Amino acid sequence: MKQKYIAEPYRIKMVEPIRETTKEERIELLKNAGYNPFSLKSDDVYIDLLTDSGTGAMSQEQWAAMMIGDEAYAGSRSFYRLEAAVRTIMGYEYFIPVHQGRGAEKVFLPQLVTKPGMFYIANIHFDTTRAHVELAGARAIDCVVPDCYDIEHYHDFKGNMCLSCLEETIIEKGKENIAGLIMTVTNNSAGGQPVSMANIKEVRKIADRFGLKVIIDGARYAENAFFIKERELGYQDKSIKEIVFEMCSYGDAFLMSAKKDGLVNMGGIIAIKNDKELFDKCRTYVVPYEGFPTYGGLNGRDMDALAVGLMEALDERYLRHRIDQVRYLGDRLRDAGVPIQFPVGGHAVFVDCKAFAPHIPFYEFPALAVTNAIYIEAGVRAVEIGSLLLGRDPDTHKNKESKMELMRLTIPRRLYTYNHLDVVADAVIHVYEHRHELKGYTFEYESSILRHFTSTFKPID
Ligand code: PLI
């Protein structure tokens, strides 16, 4: 019998109790957190959909692998096991572990910024990627396909790079001023939307024409491969492993926050296909920033868990359940008329808060208003992905208006059940039914870098 949403392909062997609070308590807790869900204690959250980053559950094989972790400072067996896994999956020659994705960005991205006034072009930079591009003295340009902004309509690959926009931008800025092309797979800020193999291939061709490097931001590489298998002609009979290998073959470097599809709570990867000089530069910089190049801020236990997690993420049954959970939540919301980025992507349901609360202007952060309302309603923590996250223009310091105002309901891997997702859906639907009562927010304190993490707010009456 074919199930619409497959059941958990695992049994639950260890449980962690979660606390419930009352609505009155949550009103007070949110106020004390400066109306910023990042400042809530996780103990005060019933269902935590803030992020899928480092929040998933590890398997028994990963926990077992941790027991053989070798804590040598230099040249540990754990490092070599992880290096072997990275080489098998990506097929790249060089590998450096780092403590998480932004560690990879901090070490790698400045290496291609050789003079002032350079640009990275991406199918959308993730927020820390953008921050590291700017900290390296360059500027970040996003060239995602327009389909991405056609929120309510189905497109197979809304995460794709817009090829004409990419070419025009390279020509306009001058190829000598482009530091590199970044392919974020899946495209997190577009709604966890996948990128097609054909698109990655074309970006490779454009890069070759202009003599540029392609960097794969592969935090969710396995989820992207799952969508390629499901939706792209010619890939139905290929394994996820084969698809990942082909995706990587079009890149020069692979940066990864392993806290996502690495199925670990901490870790990151820099992998470089064959550029020894670039590898040597990264190795030099990783020492002061992250640690010796054979541990890069990780301990042996972390590296062993990651070596196993990278392989487990290629399991198709695991991936099917993972994506089915996201689809289940998306379907429940859509059936109730809640506007979402459709189809749902790989790791989250993105609620379209521009349509949800059109009476709140971008500078009063409609997605924050919805996010705070569902916390108060049910103790569910989500995250704003909109004008608050986008921040200010680094040159004019004006608030930038995001094309989309999204609330991300991010599903951690192997952590929650469909029943938890029902609680989430009921809360969002309830808030949607009372959406006219929602109010916007203004800053009480605004931090200067990645402001969404630490700023505080007050509701506008
Ligand atoms: O959180 P890090 O430093 O391990 O990784 C940074 C990072 C880089 N690229 C992409 C596509 C990400 O999604 C990403 C982190 N994402 C987070 C934290 C998230 O909540 O989506």
Q: The domain spanning residue 248 has which CATH number?
A: 3.40.640.10
- Tell me what pLDDT residue 225 has: 98
- Tell me what pLDDT residue 397 has: 87
Verify that 290 and 324 share a domain, yes or no: no
> How many domains, the chain?
2
Q: Is 372 in the pocket of ligand 1 (CB under 6 A)?
A: no
Q: Is 128 in the pocket of ligand 1 (CB under 6 A)?
A: yes
Tell me the per-residue pLDDT of 291-307, one tens digit each, with 9 for 90 and over: 999 999 999 999 999 99
The mean per-residue pLDDT over the stretch 49-65 comes to: 98
- Tell me what pLDDT residue 450 has: 81
Q: With b meaning 16 or more CB within 10 Å and e meaning fewer, what string describes 280-304?
A: ebbbebbeeebbbbbbbbbbbbbbb
Tokens 């992020």 belong to residue: 51
- Of residues 126, 221, 279, 365, which has the active-site annotation? 126
Verify that 38 and 100 share a domain, yes or no: no
The mean per-residue pLDDT over the stretch 420-442 comes to: 98
Q: Is 53 in the pocket of ligand 1 (CB under 6 A)?
A: yes
Extended strands (E) in 253-373? 253-257, 268-272, 348-352
Last residue of a domain, one of 288, 312, 336: 312
Element (H, E) at 387: helix 387-390
The mean per-residue pLDDT over the stretch 177-182 comes to: 98
Domain membership of residue 391 (yes or no) is yes
Verify that 271 and 146 share a domain, yes or no: yes
- Report how far residue 120's alpha carbon sits from residue 179's, in angstroms, rounded to the nearest whole number: 5
The mean per-residue pLDDT over the stretch 210-237 comes to: 98
Q: φ, ψ for residue 394 (rounded to 5)?
A: -65, -20
From 53, 187, 407, mutation site for ligand 1 pocket: most ligand atoms within 8 A of C-beta = 53
Q: Catalytic residue at 219?
A: yes
**Residue 55: which residues within 8 A CB-CB, separation 6 or more?**
48, 259, 265, 412, 413, 415
The mean per-residue pLDDT over the stretch 298-321 comes to: 98
Mean pLDDT of the chain: 97
Domain membership of residue 1 (yes or no) is no
Verify that 396 and 256 share a domain, yes or no: no
Q: Catalytic residue at 235?
A: no
Is residue 113 pLDDT above 80, yes or no? yes
Alpha carbon of 257 to ligand 1 centroid (Å): 6
Verify that 334 and 286 share a domain, yes or no: no
Is residue 88 pLDDT above 90, yes or no? yes
Verify that 399 and 266 share a domain, yes or no: no
The mean per-residue pLDDT over the stretch 440-457 comes to: 91
Last residue of a domain, one of 285, 312, 339: 312
Verify that 168 and 304 share a domain, yes or no: yes
Last residue of a domain, one of 295, 312, 329: 312
- Tell me what pLDDT residue 436 has: 97
Is residue 261 pLDDT above 90, yes or no? yes
Is residue 442 pLDDT above 90, yes or no? yes
Tell me the per-residue pLDDT of 341-360, one tens digit each, with 9 for 90 and over: 999 999 999 999 999 999 99
Which residue range forms the structural domain that includes residue 245?
60-312
Q: At 308, is the pLDDT very low, low, confident or very high (cuts 50, 70, 90)?
A: very high
Q: At 449, is the pLDDT very low, low, confident or very high (cuts 50, 70, 90)?
A: confident
Domain membership of residue 11 (yes or no) is no
Verify that 298 and 353 share a domain, yes or no: no
From 50, 257, 266, 408, mutation site for ligand 1 pocket: most ligand atoms within 8 A of C-beta = 257
Tell me the per-residue pLDDT of 348-407, one tens digit each, with 9 for 90 and over: 999 999 999 999 999 999 999 999 999 999 999 999 999 999 888 878 888 899 999 999
- Tell me what pLDDT residue 115 has: 97
From 221, 288, 281, 229, select the one nearest 255 (Cα to Cα).
221
**Residue 233: which residues within 8 A CB-CB, separation 6 or more?**
none
Domain CATH number, residue 368: 3.90.1150.10
Domain membership of residue 12 (yes or no) is no
Q: Are strands 253-257 and 268-272 parallel, antiparallel or unpaired?
A: antiparallel
- Tell me what pLDDT residue 1 has: 73
Which DSSP category does 149 fall into? G
Domain membership of residue 78 (yes or no) is yes
Do residues 352 and 405 make contact, with C-beta atoms less than 8 angstroms apart? yes
